[in-house]
Amino acid sequence: MNPAMTPVATPFFFYLLSGLAILGGLLVITRRNAVHSALALIVTLLAVAGLYLMLYAPFVAGVQIIVYAGGIMVLFLFVIMLVNLERTIRERQFNRIWPVGLVAGCALLALFLGVYAKGKSLFPEQARGLAEGNNTQQIGEMLYGNYMFAFEIASLLLLVAILGAVIMAKKRI
Amino acid sequence: MAEISTLHYLVVAAALFVLGVIGVLTRRNVVIVLMSIELILNAVNLNLVAFSRMWGGLHGQIFSIFIVVDAAAEAAVGLGILIAFFRNKETINVDEIDLLKW
């Protein structure tokens, strides 16, 4: 990728979007009210969609916004409103072993960062340039070509998930 | 500021992943545990798309689309189980769900 193709504001937008994503993630796991957590999760999802756009993946960004922020989050909000909220807000929010979980998470982060710091030289300095403009067309051709079988399996998986969700949530079959 | 490399995206994804892990391990509300799982899947997707960009192919993006499909299926089934459980036990706290523990 030659320097002329690099957008000028890339570092600024990268830090803005990743900061938004991490802030949203922090709010998701600390808020008392589950609706607030869901709204923070939407912020994270949109920020990650922005990061996909910066990685030249517009189709994945669109899928992220439509399926995640549009579909899955609506499902979450419906379920939050079906189960009663008033009682859980007044209760303890973290379980009894939360310090263990926190320490384990921090150890995992230290492990990741250690591995990245040690393996830094394995990453190429410059990302390879992608052919721009026909990302969606290429993904479509691959989905219906190379990945045809996996695509059909995924549709079957969604069918099974729909059946499972309906059977589980129905009062009497 | 220096140019943004693949490693920057990996660090952001690692932070999101760890936030999700901490949420799964510490929260009591099942809905928020499921949201933390979505955070983890998003971190994995970000890694896949970043690697896809690094190698100049599209296979990582295809894989991330399949992971989005999986996340939708997982959320639907998980929330269905949650509704069924709430109807029987009137609680959505993970540490009170111990029917199989003895």
**What Cα–Cα distance (Å) separates residue A140 from each residue in A63, A152, B71, B78?**
13, 14, 20, 30
How far apart are the two ends of chain A, measured CA to CA in Å?
Answer: 58
How much is the pLDDT for A6?
53
In the numeric block, which tokens belong to residue B26? 């510490």
How much is the pLDDT for A1?
45
Q: Are residues A62 and A141 in the same domain?
A: no
B53 pLDDT tier (thresholds 50, 70, 90)? confident
A13 touches chain B (CB under 8 A): no
Contact between A22 and B19 under an 8 Å Cβ cutoff? The reply is: yes
A5 pLDDT tier (thresholds 50, 70, 90)? low
Q: Are residues A69 and A138 in the same domain?
A: no
Q: Are residues A141 and A79 in the same domain?
A: no
How much is the pLDDT for A93?
81
**Last residue within a domain, chosen from A62, A90, A118:** A90
Q: Are residues A3 and A67 in the same domain?
A: yes
**Last residue within a domain, chosen from A32, A61, A90:** A90
Does residue A99 belong to any structural domain of this protein?
Answer: no
pLDDT digits (tens, 9 = 90+) for A141-170: 999 998 999 999 999 999 999 999 999 888
Q: Do A116 and B10 touch (CB under 8 A)?
A: yes
Range of the domain at A36: 1-90
How much is the pLDDT for A115?
93
**Last residue within a domain, chosen from A90, A124, A156:** A90
Q: Are residues A11 and A74 in the same domain?
A: yes
Q: Are residues A23 and A83 in the same domain?
A: yes
Using the predicted structure, report yes or no on whether residue A119 has a pLDDT greater than 70. yes
Give residue B48's Cα distance to chain centre: 14
Does residue A127 belong to any structural domain of this protein?
Answer: no
CATH of the domain at A10: 1.20.120.1200
Does residue A70 belong to any structural domain of this protein?
Answer: yes
**Dist CA A42 CA A28 (whole Å):** 10
Tally of structural domains, chain A: 2
**Dist CA A93 CA A79 (whole Å):** 18
Q: Are residues A73 and A5 in the same domain?
A: yes
Q: Are residues A18 and A78 in the same domain?
A: yes
Q: Are residues A69 and A152 in the same domain?
A: no
Q: Are residues A64 and A1 in the same domain?
A: yes
Domains located in chain B, CATH noted? 6-91 (1.10.287.3510)
Q: Which residues 28-47 in chain A show a CB within 8 A of chain B? A: 28-29, 31, 34, 37-38, 41, 44-45
Min Cα–Cα distance to chain A from B17, Å: 9
Q: Are residues A82 and A6 in the same domain?
A: yes
CA nearest neighbour of B82 among B35, B42, B40, B18: B35
Among candidates B17, B34, B61 on the partner chain, residue whose Cβ is nearest the Cβ of A60:
B61
Q: Are residues A20 and A82 in the same domain?
A: yes
Q: Which residues 76-135 in chain A show a CB within 8 A of chain B? A: 76, 79-80, 82-83, 88, 91-98, 100-102, 104-106, 108-109, 112-113, 116, 120, 123-125, 127-130, 135
